[in-house]
Structure 1
Amino acid sequence: MNERVTPEPQRVRRRPTKQGVVLSQRLIVDTALRLVGQHGAEALTVRRLGAALGADPSAVYRYFHSTDDLLLALADEFIGRAQAGWQATGDWRADLRAIGLRIHAAYQAHPQAALLAAHRTTGRTHEARAVETILGILRTAGFPDPEAVRIYHAFVDQSLGFAALDAATLALPAAAASADLGVWQASYARLDAATHPNIAATAGLLTADMRRSGYPLALDLLLDAAEARLAAGT
């Protein structure tokens, strides 16, 4: 894609596409999410988008500078979806926990696209609002600014890191995902207690626990640490 993009007021396509719809940034983003979800990262091309939209591929230029520009829009869309409907309670820990779980869930809903977008910094509307909200929660709770920034950094990297990790698991072909889970039962559960006493003692627990995401517990551990630091006056 080229580096030209039509100014916002001029972007509306006045004639419907072959499928009877009018192009918009929202429609293109939603279509891109659907294509990536169905066909993986390789589907994020102007040609594939044009075909799915029933429009000439060059029409996408009116809305996005490049495929990377579109990818950043997808990343910002995830952040916006995570914030939709969220309301502060005034309890900083409960509010951060809810935000973290929402971020994780938003990316898990579109695992293929999450693999492309979870590590990107967009600088766009939804992301800026999320940064402002999280820092506001921490500063209002009483964390000094240097500490608020450090905890914000750890909180966001943890949530996005688990979002990407769990998305990668969800994006695996069914056979590969089943085989990975089966390793805990087929291999670890059969290790000799004489050579692997700790694994043998916890094999049943491992088999059960590795079937779910470690993020909720990791999030609680991070919040426990933040709460302890706040109480200690760090």
Structure 2
Amino acid sequence: MRKRWSKQHILDAAVELLSGSEGYDSFSMRKLAAELGTDSSSLYRHFRNRAELMLAIVDHVLVQAMHGYRREGPWRARLLDLTLRSWDAYAALPQLAKDTSHYPGSGPGSQLVIEETLQALSDAGVPEERIPEWYHRLVTLAVSLISAHAAGQASGPTERKRRMENFRLITLGADPADHPALAHYGRRIEPIGFTRESFLATMELVLDAVPARQDPLSHRTAASG
């Protein structure tokens, strides 16, 4: 008798499959069903199509990322915690993360992230009429950086090496007469890409500009461990 899998089990299996070597580009309802030892009809009882499944996976990843989160500490520390939880959650799923902007979450994980971001901005003393604006800025930046990093990681070592070679050719081969600054700094600049540390530093810069009325108790200490 064919086993009927729960929605939770299907999502867990989907994340496992997406973290494998073949990744997102070859991901399909058929392959997921085969991984579960069933057929696609079992999945369609829970998800109407692949797009709906992807929405649920994105939200499922956020639910896992928010496990153990507490609304404690300064607003700035909480916002950094929220963004780093998302970064870490998608670090193991670059093929999915590079397309997260195509699949905005639509479930409890997304609701929790949005709620806690708005609450932190409110606790910071941001004027009420400006909270939606700053929510949008923070989330747009975080998703963009996570997606950009994931796209680079998902391209594979050969493609990354080729891009690095092209970048070095451009920077080290600059004519000082035409591009004096590039020639001067060329050996010290890196191609576009983000590590966890540079992601954190970028988010810190944006948080410096938040029109907060309440100072965090410990400035620039969140998530440093």
Fold-level match, TM-score > 0.5?
yes
Q: Which residue among 178, 181, 206 is the counterpart of 1:198?
A: 181
CA contact (8 A) 1:33 1:113 kept: no
Instruction: Choose 87-96 or 163-172, whichever is displaced more.
Output: 87-96
Alignment of 1:21-170 (within 5 A): 23-37=5-19, 38-170=21-153
Bigger-Rg structure (1/2): 1
- Alpha-carbon deviation of 1:98? 1.7
Instruction: Give the Cα–Cα distance (whole angstroms) in 1 for the partners of residues 192 and 27 of structure 2.
Output: 32
CA contact (8 A) 2:60 2:109 kept: yes
What amino acid does structure 1 have at the position aligned with 2:73? G
User: Higher helix fraction: Structure 1 or Structure 2?
Assistant: 1
SS at match of 2:103: coil
CA contact (8 A) 1:119 1:160 kept: no
Instruction: Choose 112-121 or 47-56, whichever is displaced more.
Output: 112-121
What amino acid does structure 2 have at the position aligned with 1:67? R
Q: Equivalent residue for 2:205?
A: 221
The answer on 1:175 being equivalent to 2:130 is no
Instruction: Choose 29-38 or 55-64, whichever is displaced more.
Output: 29-38
Q: CA-atom RMSD, angstroms?
A: 2.2
- Alpha-carbon deviation of 1:187? 2.9
1:134-161 deviations in Å (ceiling 9; x for gaps): 1111112211222111111101111111
Kindly tell me the number of residue pairs found equivalent between the two proteins. Answer: 211
- The verdict on how the C-alpha distance between 1:24 and 1:200 changes in structure 2, with shifts beyond 3 A counting, is same
- Alpha-carbon deviation of 1:80? 1.7
Instruction: Give the Cα–Cα distance (whole angstroms) in 1 for the partners of residues 135 and 141 of structure 2.
Output: 10
SS at match of 1:204: coil
- Alpha-carbon deviation of 1:130? 1.1
- Alpha-carbon deviation of 1:133? 0.9
- Alpha-carbon deviation of 1:121? 2.5
Which protein has greater RCO, CA pairs closer than 8 Å, 6+ apart?
Answer: 2
- Alpha-carbon deviation of 1:220? 1.3
SS at match of 2:5: coil
CA contact (8 A) 1:35 1:43 kept: no
- The verdict on how the C-alpha distance between 1:174 and 1:192 changes in structure 2, with shifts beyond 3 A counting, is same
What amino acid does structure 2 have at the position aligned with 1:160? V
State TM-score, norm by structure 1: 0.81
SS at match of 1:90: coil
SS at match of 2:189: helix
Instruction: Give the Cα–Cα distance (whole angstroms) in 2 for the partners of residues 182 and 62 of structure 1.
Output: 48
CA contact (8 A) 2:11 2:57 kept: yes
Structure 2 unaligned regions, length at least 5:
215-225
Alignment of 1:13-28 (within 5 A): 17=3, 23-28=5-10
Instruction: Choose 209-218 or 87-96, whichever is displaced more.
Output: 209-218
Instruction: Choose 22-31 or 171-180, whichever is displaced more.
Output: 22-31
Instruction: Give the Cα–Cα distance (whole angstroms) in 2 for the partners of residues 206 and 222 of structure 1.
Output: 22
Instruction: Give the Cα–Cα distance (whole angstroms) in 2 for the partners of residues 231 and 193 of structure 1.
Output: 47
SS at match of 2:187: helix
Instruction: Give the Cα–Cα distance (whole angstroms) in 1 for the partners of residues 32 and 16 of structure 2.
Output: 10
Instruction: Give the Cα–Cα distance (whole angstroms) in 2 for the partners of residues 151 and 189 of structure 1.
Output: 39
CA contact (8 A) 2:152 2:193 kept: no
State TM-score, norm by structure 2: 0.83
